[in-house]
């Protein structure tokens, strides 16, 4: 058995620092939402790096970018490494970015060390993982896995009514490649933990075995406009009041499950007309329930649904669930996890098994390919925040684990 | 004493019907918010009517339009009739519109009947009464009365960051006339009641003697962004949750005062980033308290303020009152009310005394001129809603009362 491989750490971190400069948000953070002008600059930079290294770049119809380092056996399905380059509006510099740039660095390190693999190795940057501009999140990986129809994704609108497909065209990322429909040998994703455990325990690698169960809903509230002044309380149908009551109820459910690390979030509330002087006749609340135990997640959501009639009565409005989604039931692939575990061991990198609390593109990909994830430490677990922080020292072991696991997988015939 | 005068009813209603066609919103309603393209079309139509009739039109620096029918004694302060031509985003056809067009009809009727008055009679359309686009409401009448500095008004921004002054310039209504600073002999405003009493009791005229006390506040909520997934409940500072708790509390205060016809409204709630997947670190709630008794209105607001520390603790956020306003303490002028009462009596029009629950331009004008208001019936009190309804039959008596009161006042030397 040959000695374990190592990436070129300074080169890797230079790509991260270049990304830090594209789409600067609040101090320390990034505001590089999907299909924005800054997203295009980052995409162009990524494509330039890939082409300079000689990888074949393809863009699929939902804008995901694949760069391929050829293998000896071109007919075999590739090993794919990926994550996302888009961020939240108050996002950090590492969430998603580390995974794509780690993938690029793995390919470059293989070149440096003149390692040939039987299977091609690809790196992918999925479009719109965050869902910060176009809801739902992880939509391009979902389309790749056949969860969402391509035309439905292209028809998504942002809050200003601008279309996903129109923005892809505007930025020149309306690719020709079909979305999914081809076999992958395996998919690996490296990502910051987005929780405090690795950082606090000073362990560089988390091996993700499963995800927290997530139950999402969008609830619409129907009321009636009227004048803020004369309209009597007992005739009011202020949709904003109904939405606020629902938001408070959802938060309370989170507290009910706090002891078992459950979370419930009203993450978004919009109302119309939402102006001084007039009662709103429409509102919408996005509700998110998460629990390690899928039954508890179901129970949290059921508790919310069970309260709707009572809240409807209190606020004199009507509620309607207009969107629902589920993720995090996925189990990752034991063989792929085994390769990561083996690589950690050979490299002498301490690791622990973990469950992911956040959603990742890997969840969707796991439906169509053997998949595993590596978590790396982020300070205090802070994420989706400009104070998100990771450093090369704590990230490097994970990238080396990724490199060795990918080589092991890609050499396999 | 001569016979009481009457307006030209069909002509009056034709102007209302023309207004119905400008800025059509939902079926039956108007969406003609201040300084929109449709507002300009309506302004142009109003100016055209005024100029065709030979009235001198001036526009002041905040875009309010004055049309003057000259009097015999040009040095005497004029009698002014006014209201507003802008609407809410889901507004009706009559709120404000009837008052301006009644004023125009009064002037035209004086022409028809070749009535000369000692004092000039003016009709004014105030800019942005509704505050649907630029907050606060009644801002141009407020500037006229010296409540708001002109430059502050011109610097107001809408939700898209577009400036009040810029929009005035774009529409060509950035007038040269100074704002206020000249004496008015009296100000009369006709307006739909925006309550059900006149309609239900089948009384055509309400004489407004005073207003409900209004206490407005904008409360800001400061939290911290974090990931909807992993971030534990006990570390969360979701500003949206704090805002929702506040909105529910404000609504509850309204119910506490329901028996004495008090109203409390969370009318507007905005949050940032307000996206799925991330907790919001900022939110803002507009709170509105109204009561006939000013002390009760103060008490309602105080109850809200007293709850902020407890709510801040529950939601783990900080609250800050960033804007406060007061109106409705005004008492209208007994002499002007007397003229309206006398005109009603001479015309045989039944009337009752009323308090206004909504805000009106007249509130501000009453600070610098003797002022009175006429209410006319609107169906079921529905307003700020596309189902708002008034008809000529029920409106006509009020306009005739206005005509006769204005003539009486304007003839006075």
Work out the minimum CA distance from B176 to partner chain A, whole angstroms.
30
Contact A88 B265 (CB under 8 A): no
User: Choosing among A36, A265, A327, which should be mutated to test the B contact, i.e. which has the most B CBs within 10 A?
Assistant: A265
- Considering only the beta carbons, identify the residue of A240, A278, A286 that sits closest to B266: A240
B412: confidence class by pLDDT, cuts 50, 70, 90: low
Sign of the CA dihedral B319, B152, B104, B71? Answer: positive
Work out the minimum CA distance from A1 to partner chain B, whole angstroms.
39
Contact B258 A234 (CB under 8 A): yes
Within chain A, which residues score under 70 in pLDDT?
A: 1, 412-413
Contacts of B206 (CB under 8 A, 6+ apart): B193, B197, B198, B351, B352, B353, B354, B374, B375, B376
Contact A225 B384 (CB under 8 A): yes
Query: What residue of B is the nearest CA neighbor of A277?
Result: B267
With beta carbons under 8 A apart, name residues in chain A contacting B289.
none
- Considering only the beta carbons, identify the residue of B135, B194, B277 that sits closest to A384: B277
- Considering only the beta carbons, identify the residue of B89, B234, B269 that sits closest to A244: B269
pTM score, whole prediction = 0.91
Contact A384 B233 (CB under 8 A): no
Q: Are strands A121-126 and A79-84 parallel, antiparallel or unpaired?
A: parallel
Contact B224 A132 (CB under 8 A): no
Q: What is the mean pLDDT of residues B359-382?
A: 96
State the pLDDT at residue B5: 96
Contact A244 B231 (CB under 8 A): no
CB B191 within 8 A of CB B340: no
Instruction: Tell me the C-alpha to C-alpha distance, in Å, between residue B131 and each of A155, A250, A404, B33, B55.
Output: 34, 32, 63, 8, 28
State the pLDDT at residue A412: 64
CB B109 within 8 A of CB B125: no
Q: How far apart are the C-alpha atoms of A59 and A233, rounded to whole Å? A: 56
Query: What residue of B is the nearest CA neighbor of A381?
Result: B231
State the pLDDT at residue B366: 95
Contact A89 B278 (CB under 8 A): yes
The neighbouring-strand residues paired with B325 are B216
Contact B230 A136 (CB under 8 A): no
CB A274 within 8 A of CB B284: no
Contact A247 B251 (CB under 8 A): no
Q: What is the mean pLDDT of residues B284-292?
A: 97
With beta carbons under 8 A apart, name residues in chain B contacting A314.
none
Query: What residue of A is the nearest CA neighbor of B227?
Result: A384
DSSP structure class, residue B191: E
Q: How far apart are the C-alpha atoms of B173 and B347, rounded to whole Å? A: 39
Report residue A377 as tokens: 């430490």
Report residue A65 as tokens: 């970018």
Work out the minimum CA distance from A404 to partner chain B, whole angstroms.
29
Contact A275 B359 (CB under 8 A): no
B263: confidence class by pLDDT, cuts 50, 70, 90: very high
- Considering only the beta carbons, identify the residue of B248, B265, B270 that sits closest to A279: B265
State the pLDDT at residue A153: 98
Contacts of B361 (CB under 8 A, 6+ apart): B82, B83, B84, B126, B129, B138, B140, B141, B189
Query: What residue of B is the nearest CA neighbor of A158?
Result: B275
- Considering only the beta carbons, identify the residue of A233, A248, A262 that sits closest to B248: A248
pLDDT in tens, B201-244: 999 999 999 889 999 999 999 999 999 999 999 999 999 999 99
- Considering only the beta carbons, identify the residue of A131, A226, A255 that sits closest to B385: A226
CB B285 within 8 A of CB B269: yes
Contact B290 A229 (CB under 8 A): yes
Contact A227 B90 (CB under 8 A): no
User: Choosing among B381, B384, B388, which should be mutated to test the A contact, i.e. which has the most A CBs within 10 A?
Assistant: B384
Q: How far apart are the C-alpha atoms of B49 and B55, rounded to whole Å? A: 9
State the pLDDT at residue B122: 98
Q: Mean pLDDT for chain B? A: 96
**Which domains, ranges and CATH numbers included, belong to chain A?**
9-212+329-411 (3.40.630.10), 213-327 (3.30.70.360)
The neighbouring-strand residues paired with A79 are A121, A186
Contact B244 A269 (CB under 8 A): yes
Contact B248 A245 (CB under 8 A): yes
- Considering only the beta carbons, identify the residue of A227, A233, A244 that sits closest to B247: A244
Work out the minimum CA distance from B19 to partner chain A, whole angstroms.
21
Work out the minimum CA distance from A187 to partner chain B, whole angstroms.
23
Contact A135 B229 (CB under 8 A): no
Contact A277 B195 (CB under 8 A): no
- Helix ranges (H only) for A213-266 are 239-256
With beta carbons under 8 A apart, name residues in chain A contacting B381.
230-231
Contact B231 A268 (CB under 8 A): no
CB B243 within 8 A of CB B283: yes
pLDDT in tens, B180-197: 999 999 999 999 999 999
- Considering only the beta carbons, identify the residue of B270, B381, B385 that sits closest to A224: B385
First to last CA, chain B: 17
Contact B88 A225 (CB under 8 A): yes
With beta carbons under 8 A apart, name residues in chain A contacting B226.
382-385
State the pLDDT at residue A329: 78
Q: Is B327 or B64 the better-scoring residue by pLDDT?
A: B64
């Amino acid at each position: 058995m040959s000695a374990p491989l190592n990436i070129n750490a300074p080169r890797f971190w230079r790509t991260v620092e270049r990304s830090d400069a594209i789409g600067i948000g609040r101090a320390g953070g990034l505001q590089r939402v999907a299909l924005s002008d800054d997203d295009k600059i980052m995409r162009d930079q990524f494509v330039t790096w890939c082409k300079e290294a000689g990888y074949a770049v393809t863009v699929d119809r939902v804008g995901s970018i694949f760069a391929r380092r050829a293998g000896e056996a071109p007919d075999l399905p590739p090993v794919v490494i990926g994550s996302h380059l888009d961020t939240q509006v108050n996002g950090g510099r590492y969430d998603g970015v580390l995974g794509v740039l780690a993938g690029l660095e793995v390919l470059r390190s293989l070149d440096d060390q003149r390692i040939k693999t039987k299977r091609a190795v690809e790196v992918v940057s999925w479009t719109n993982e965050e869902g910060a501009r176009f809801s739902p999140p992880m939509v391009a990986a979902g389309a790749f896995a056949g969860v969402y129809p391509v035309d439905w994704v292209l028809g998504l609108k942002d809050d200003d009514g601008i279309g996903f497909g129109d923005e892809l065209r505007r930025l020149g990322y309306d690719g020709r490649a079909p979305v999914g429909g081809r076999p992958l040998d395996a998919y690996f994703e490296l990502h910051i933990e987005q929780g405090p455990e690795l950082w606090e325990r000073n362990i560089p690698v988390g091996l993700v075995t499963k995800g927290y169960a997530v139950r999402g809903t969008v609830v619409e509230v129907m009321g009636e406009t009227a004048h803020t002044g004369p309209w009597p309380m007992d005739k009011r149908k202020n949709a904003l009041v109904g939405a606020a009551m629902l938001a408070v109820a959802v938060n309370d459910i989170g507290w009910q499950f706090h002891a078992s690390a459950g979370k419930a979030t009203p993450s978004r509330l919009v109302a119309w007309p939402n102006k001084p002087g007039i009662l709103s006749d429409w509102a919408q609340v996005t509700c998110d329930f998460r629990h390690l135990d899928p039954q508890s997640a179901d129970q949290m959501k059921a508790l919310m649904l069970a309260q709707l009639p009572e809240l409807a009565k209190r606020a004199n409005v009507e509620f309607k669930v207009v969107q629902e989604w589920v993720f995090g039931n996925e189990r990752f692939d034991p063989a792929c996890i085994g390769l990561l575990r083996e690589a950690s061991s050979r490299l002498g990198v301490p690791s622990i098994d973990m469950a992911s609390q956040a959603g990742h593109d890997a969840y969707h990909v796991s439906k169509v390919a053997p998949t595993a994830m590596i978590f790396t430490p982020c300070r205090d677990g802070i994420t989706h925040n400009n104070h998100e922080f990771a450093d090369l020292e704590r990230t490097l072991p994970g990238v080396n684990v990724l490199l060795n696991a990918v080589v092991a997988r890609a050499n396999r015939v």
